[in-house]
Structures are given as C-alpha cells and as structure tokens.
Structure 1
Amino acid sequence: MSKIYGLTGGIASGKSTVLNLFRQNKFIVYDADYVAREVVKLGTIGLAQITGQFGSSVLLADGTLNRKKLSSIVFSDQTQLEKLNQITRPLIKKEILQTVSDVKKSTQSDISIFEIPLLFEGNYQNYFDGVISLYVQPQIQLHRLMQRNGISKKVALEQINSQMSMDEKKRRADFVIDNSGDMNHLQNEFDKLVSQL
C-alpha cells in the first residue's frame, strides 16, 4: 500500500532543498504551489472567479493571470486577500485531497511526499500518514530570509511573524528535520528520517 506524508516548515526553512533530496532519492513528490498555479490557469473556474471578483485588469493580454497585478491588490489590503483566499483555497484543497486519495488507493508500495507550506493552517494533517516539519533556529531563519530575498530585518520579521511559529509546527509534526546546519548536517537528518518512514 502506498503512503503519503505531508512536508511543511516555516519560510526560509529549506523546503525546496529537502523536496529535491526526496526527488533525488526517487520518492514521488507533489507541491502545493504547483496546485495553486494550476487552479487559476486559462480556462479554469478559478480564473473566471478571480476575474469576476477583481475585474479584467488582473489579466495579461493573452487572458492569463497577471500575478504581479493581483499581488499588488491583495497584499496591501487584508479584505481583498481574504476574498482571493475564499476563491482559491477550496479549489486548492479539493485538488490536494484528490491527489492524496488517488495515492492511497494505489496498490504500489511507494512513499509520496506532498509539500504544503500552510499544512497545519489548512488543517491537512489528518489526511496524511504522517507530517514532516522542517525546523531551523530563529536567528538562522531570519538571516537566510534576509539573504535570499534581499530584504531588511524588519520586513523579514514581518514575514516570519505572519506565519505559525516553527516551534508550533515542530510540536505538531510526527517527524522533524533540523536544517540549522550545513548541507552535510541536512543530509544526515534526511537519511535518519528516511529510515523511519
């Protein structure tokens, strides 16, 4: 029987790096960000609802979503962000749960990993065979985020504080990967985790 684990972690905790390690080790990998892009592609109900809510100014000339334009509207206005979330979240959840269901029905004895940044916030934990959370020490997370995105300490802290704390994600997870060290440390943590799955 196939198993599927949810993977989560705070911003700049190394989710993409760990997802690549899973890929390199021949795990089947799914990505919630990919699902989020798929549900608003040209011709989808998601795109039609967004256009209905925000107007055709959020479309590019070819009819696809202008993400930059939409971001500028929703990230400066909490009410607009909530309206967008009310459209996209149910569509994303439906797709994710369909994928999880399909994997669990499979007769293969594969292990799949589904990366969902807001896994606990979206209450996805009960659908998986277990949840893996990435942990990184707060000062390292702050430094990595500032470096990666070229942002000030103030902006980085705002982004970190807008999410569930990593301590809370760590507490709720079934497995924890500590990504506070270098790549060798991460590889050891990864190998240890894989032996437990």
Structure 2
Amino acid sequence: MSKIYGLTGGIAAGKSTILNLFKDHGFQVFDADKVAREVVVPGSIGLHEITEQFGESVLLSDGTLNRQELAKIVFSDSKQLNKLNNITRPLIKKNILETIAEVKKSSNSTISIFEIQLLFEGGYQEYFDGVISLYVRPEVQLDRLMKRNNLTKKVALERINSQMSMDEKRRRADFVVDNSEDLTHLTKQFDRLIAQL
C-alpha cells in the first residue's frame, strides 16, 4: 500500500533542499508551489478572479501574474492576503486532494512526499499518513530569507510573521527535521527520518 507524507516548514526553512534529498533517494515528490502556479496560469479561473479582485496592475504585459506586484499588496495587509487566499486556496486544495487520492489508490508500496508550506493552515494534515516539519531557528530563518530574496529586515519579518510560527508547526508534526545547521547535519537528520517512515 502506498503512503504519502506531508512536508511543511516556514519560509526559508530549506524545503526545496530536503525535497531534493527525497527525490535523489527515489521518492515520488509533489510540490504545492507548483500547484499554486498552475491554478493562476493565463486563462484560468484563478487568474481571472485575482485580476477582478486586485486589478490589472497584478498582470505582466504577457498576461501572466506579476507575483512581485501581488506580493507587495498582500504581505503588508492581512485583509488583502485573506482575499487572495480565499481565491486560490480552494483551487489549490481541490488539485492537491485529487493527487493524494491518486497516490493512495496505487497498489505499489511506495512512499511519496507532498510539500505544502501552508499544510496546517489549509487543514491538510488529516489526508496524510504523517506530517514532517522542517524547523530552523528564527535568527537563521530571518538571515536566510533576507539573503535569498534580497529583502530588508522589516519586509522579511512581515513575510515570516504572516505565517504560522515554526514552533507551532514543529509541535503539530509527527516528525521534525532541524535544518538550522549545514547540509551535512541535514543529511544525517534526513537519513534518520527515512528510517522511521
């Protein structure tokens, strides 16, 4: 019987890095960010509704979503972020639940990983065989996010604070991986994790 685990963690916790480790070890991996991009492609209901809500300024000249412009609007105003989430979350959830159902139907005894940043916020935990949370110390998270996205401390903190805290995600998870150190440390934790799955 196939198993599927949800993977979550705060922004800049290193989810892409651990997802690549899973991929390299032959696990089937899914990424909610990819789903989120698919539900707002030109011609989609998602993009139409976003444009209706936020105006034409959130579109690039080729008709695709201007993510940077939209981020400026929603990350500094929780009401606007809620409006965006009310449009995209139902579309994303439908797609994710269909994928989980497909995986669980498989008769192969494989293990799949589905990375969802807003896993607990979206109420996805009940659909998985377990939840893995990637943890990183707050000062490391802030430093990584500022460097990775070239953000000021204020903007980086706004993005971090717009999400569920890392401690809360760690508390709710079935498995926790600490990614506050280097790749060698992460790899050791990863090996320990897959032995438990």
> Shared fold (TM-score greater than 0.5)?
yes
CA offset at residue 76 of structure 1?
4.2
Percent sequence identity over matched residues?
72
Matches within 5 A, 1:16-95: 16-95=16-95
CA–CA separation in structure 1 for the residues paired with 2:66 and 2:13: 28
Q: Residue 158 of structure 1 corresponds to which residue in structure 2?
A: 158
Change in Cα spacing, 1:79 to 1:178, as seen in structure 2 (3 Å) is closer
Report the TM-score when normalising by structure 1.
0.91
Change in Cα spacing, 1:43 to 1:167, as seen in structure 2 (3 Å) is same
Q: Structure 2 regions of 5+ residues with no counterpart?
A: none
Is the 2:75–2:159 contact (alpha carbons within 8 Å) kept by the matching residues of 1?
no
CA–CA separation in structure 2 for the residues paired with 1:178 and 1:145: 17
2:131 is paired with a residue whose SS is strand
Q: Residue 125 of structure 2 corresponds to which residue in structure 1?
A: 125
1:85 is paired with a residue whose SS is helix
Q: Residue 167 of structure 2 corresponds to which residue in structure 1?
A: 167
CA–CA separation in structure 1 for the residues paired with 2:10 and 2:188: 20
User: 1:144-173: CA deviations, max 9, x gaps?
Assistant: 223323333343333323222211111110
Is the 2:135–2:179 contact (alpha carbons within 8 Å) kept by the matching residues of 1?
yes
* Comparing 47-56 and 105-114, the one that deviates more: 47-56
2:46 is paired with a residue whose SS is helix
CA–CA separation in structure 1 for the residues paired with 2:154 and 2:72: 20
CA–CA separation in structure 1 for the residues paired with 2:70 and 2:151: 21
Report the TM-score when normalising by structure 2.
0.91
Aligned residues between the structures: 197
1:86 is paired with a residue whose SS is helix
Q: Residue 109 of structure 2 corresponds to which residue in structure 1?
A: 109
